[in-house]
Structure 1
Amino acid sequence: MTVEEMKKKKTELGFSCEQISDRSGVPLGTVQKIFSGITKRPRYDTICQLEKAFPMEPDSNPYPGMMEESVSAYRIYGDGTDHEGDIWKSFRGKKQGEYTLKDYEAIPDEYRVELIDGVIYDLNTPTTIHQQLAFEISIRLREYIRQNKGLCMVLPSPVSVQLDEDDRTMLQPDVVVCCDRDKILRSHVYGAPDMVIEILSPSTRKKDMGLKLKKYITARVREYWMVDPDKKKVVVYDLEHNELPAIYGFEDQVPVNIFAGKCQIDFSEIYSYIEFLFEKE
């Protein structure tokens, strides 16, 4: 829901800024600045929070429950007592925040996990929409690079990124663009890539919008996209030039800032190709 759509809903429902603040948890001053137009480009997470103030119409969300965080995304391996096999014995006696790459690499391949600042996070199996979005974006980026004889490499999931160049973090982004080939090892990417794309899902939304955004900023990733299938939005952080994100819809052509906007991803074309998936349960 855009700010303009929320303004319309506010009028239709007769909500005051105080009511919106109470219902959403967004501070009253922030609500007043957004709805008065003083704040021109509110943060994406603030918009998501504001949406909670407005009741959703039946059938308006193609993914019932999509906004709720999935507990399974934060199912942690802890001391290993929930798992069978000798491999989990090495986890006993350790707490979250104490795990290292040695522990991460000891986890069997059938478990999809990320290691962030010594904490192990479980990753759910992606949906077909998630996979198709990542694939379609990847091939368009690759085609632009190929046509322009560039050296950047597009690495779609599964790809491991040792973002902080230490032994406490190994991320699993959905799509990575790395222009420094020295960073691309056989097993993973070592250091910050130029561009990272995450496809938001119920199980990773909170982590992608908060923790991972901060990690990418700190590591000096040049550009970070969050593609939101639920809201059909693309949130673009041009981390080299702008603190606030630009927000596009699935009807837009989204410029790639690391290529000076000369490469544009046509989301209307992508959406028209996979639209049928949004109608399935």
Structure 2
Amino acid sequence: MDKKMIDGGKQNSRGEQTEAAKEYPLEGLVKTDGMVCEALAAYLPAKKQGEFTVEDLANIPDEQRVELIDGVIFEMEAPYTIHQTIELEIFARLRAFIMEKGGKCVPFAAPVDVQLDCDNKTMLQPDVMVICDREKNNGKRIYGAPDFIAEVLSKSTRKKDLLIKTVKYENAGVRECWMIDPDKKQILVYDFEREGYPVIYGFDDEIPVRIFEGECKINFREIHDYLKEIYGV
């Protein structure tokens, strides 16, 4: 298919938010009016959304997955099985390539915490990532920006992932980011080092991984065929 360029709702070249990002500001994605949900409130200090820190997450049980973005806590639903299948297929292909080449980069699959901005206001859990600076892995979490991130979109995370996290990833220094949409069967590839807009691929494409100079390619036709075999989609 032809590769298309679109405005993904990021900041523009002057560092300003685009109209799409303004339409869904961070506070507009919080589920409650300035407060976290009742299920989480019991584990957190009495603060408003926007005031929470990484340290405040310590008492939240592991089974209640959350992300922290600029002091705002977002609940995370357990991924659907199709979501997890895509995630693990990408992880497996990245790992196989790195091992074959004897590379120093390390792939990870969620849940792994990423202290993205090296501050105490943001902690994310990307679906798949690659770290090439091993010193960022402190054995507990990733401290700093991964080189590569892939997120598999769902209805509950679509706006947050497309309009908030892509901006966070770019500003933190992530080199490449994929947003994978199983419903539309599309992959938005952001090459933050070279291009200002994402390139759209389909589930029938072979997609080059740009942090590896395109030498590694993820064959989404193979992944799609596997999904059809398992899920009939």
Q: TM-score range by the shorter chain?
A: 0.7 to 0.9
Corresponding residue number in structure 2 for 1:9: none
Instruction: Decide whether the 8 Å contact of 1:79 with 1:91 is kept in 2.
Output: no
Corresponding residue number in structure 1 for 2:163: 210
> Match for 2:5: what amino acid?
R
Structure with more relative contact order (C-alpha pairs < 8 Å, separation 6 or more):
2
Instruction: Decide whether the 8 Å contact of 2:36 with 2:49 is kept in 1.
Output: no
1:239-278 correspondence to structure 2 within 5 Å: 239-278=192-231
1:103-142 correspondence to structure 2 within 5 Å: 103-142=56-95
For 2:153 and 2:106, the matched residues in 1 are separated by 22
Tell me the TM-score normalised to structure 1 length: 0.71
For 2:226 and 2:33, the matched residues in 1 are separated by 38
Instruction: Decide whether the 8 Å contact of 1:74 with 1:122 is kept in 2.
Output: no
Q: Percentage identity across aligned positions? A: 48
1:129-278 correspondence to structure 2 within 5 Å: 129-278=82-231
* Runs ≥4 residues deviating over 3 A: 73-81, 276-280
Instruction: Decide whether the 8 Å contact of 1:80 with 1:91 is kept in 2.
Output: no
List runs of 5+ in structure 2 lacking aligned partners.
Answer: 11-28
The offset of 1:269, in angstroms, is 0.4
- The answer as to 2:7 corresponding to 1:43 is yes
1:46-61 correspondence to structure 2 within 5 Å: none
> Match for 1:177: what amino acid?
V
> Match for 2:168: what amino acid?
K
Corresponding residue number in structure 1 for 2:42: 88
List runs of 5+ in structure 1 lacking aligned partners.
Answer: 4-39, 47-72
1:140-184 CA distance string (max 9 Å, x none): 000000000000000001111000000110001000100000001
Q: Whose strand fraction is larger, Structure 1's or Structure 2's?
A: 2
Instruction: Decide whether the 8 Å contact of 2:6 with 2:199 is kept in 1.
Output: no
Q: Whose helix fraction is larger, Structure 1's or Structure 2's?
A: 1
Q: Radius of gyration: which is bigger? A: 1
CA 1:129–1:187 in 2, change beyond 3 Å: closer, same or farther? same
1:206-260 CA distance string (max 9 Å, x none): 0110100000110010000001101111110010001111111000000000000
Tell me the TM-score normalised to structure 2 length: 0.85
Instruction: Decide whether the 8 Å contact of 2:98 with 2:105 is kept in 1.
Output: yes
For 1:45 and 1:129, the matched residues in 2 are separated by 26
